Amino acid sequence: MSCVGLLSCGKSEIVTASAPSPDGKSKVLLIEKDDFRIDRNFDVFLEDCSTATPKRTLLFSSPDEGKPVGTERFVWSKDSQFILLVGRQFGTKGDVKLKSGESLYLLYDVKNAILRCNASQQDKYGAFTGKDVEAIPWAGAVAPK
């Protein structure tokens, strides 16, 4: 089943990262909020693709983040319970990076609806470490420092 690629208001979206879950029931999307001339702001949505009309749930709205756009990616856990957002241009607290140089930015537990974020401008959510990431079996390449 295909997930919707347009906002309900009919405007085209600027989706700079997306990934379907391994079980095919969900999709995660990073959608830019505006034309980001000065600062970049985006939303992360989880889309339920298991129904005829996919339903989106807002997971996270970013603080101002740096450019360029398109230097981030999502990785799902093998069991589709966790989503990890990593990127090369995110401002994060501490040295939370992968061996690839990408920063560990956002970790979401789908089953328990728990979000953790390492954004340097974000204190609303708890942080996470490379050890937290290592404990999860990932469907894609994730190798913390």
Q: Which residues, 6 or more positions from 123, have their beta carbon under 8 angstroms from its beta carbon?
A: none
Q: Does 145 map to a domain?
A: no
Name the pairing type of β-strands 42-48 and 26-32. Answer: antiparallel
Q: Does the CA dihedral 75-11-59-2 come out positive or negative?
A: negative
pLDDT band at 2 (very low <50, low <70, confident <90, very high): very low
Q: Does 3 map to a domain?
A: no
Q: Does 4 map to a domain?
A: no
Q: What letter does residue 65 receive in the DSSP assignment? A: B
Q: Does 8 map to a domain?
A: no
pLDDT over threshold 50, residue 134: yes
Q: Does 34 map to a domain?
A: yes
pLDDT of residue 145: 66
pTM: 0.86
pLDDT above 90 as % of the chain: 53
The boundaries of the domain holding residue 126 are: 15-134
The two three-digit tokens of residue 28, written as one number: 């995660």
Q: Does 124 map to a domain?
A: yes
pLDDT above 70 as % of the chain: 85
- For residues 54-66, give the mean pLDDT: 86
Query: How many domains are there within the chain?
Result: 1
Q: Does the CA dihedral 64-44-137-131 come out positive or negative?
A: positive
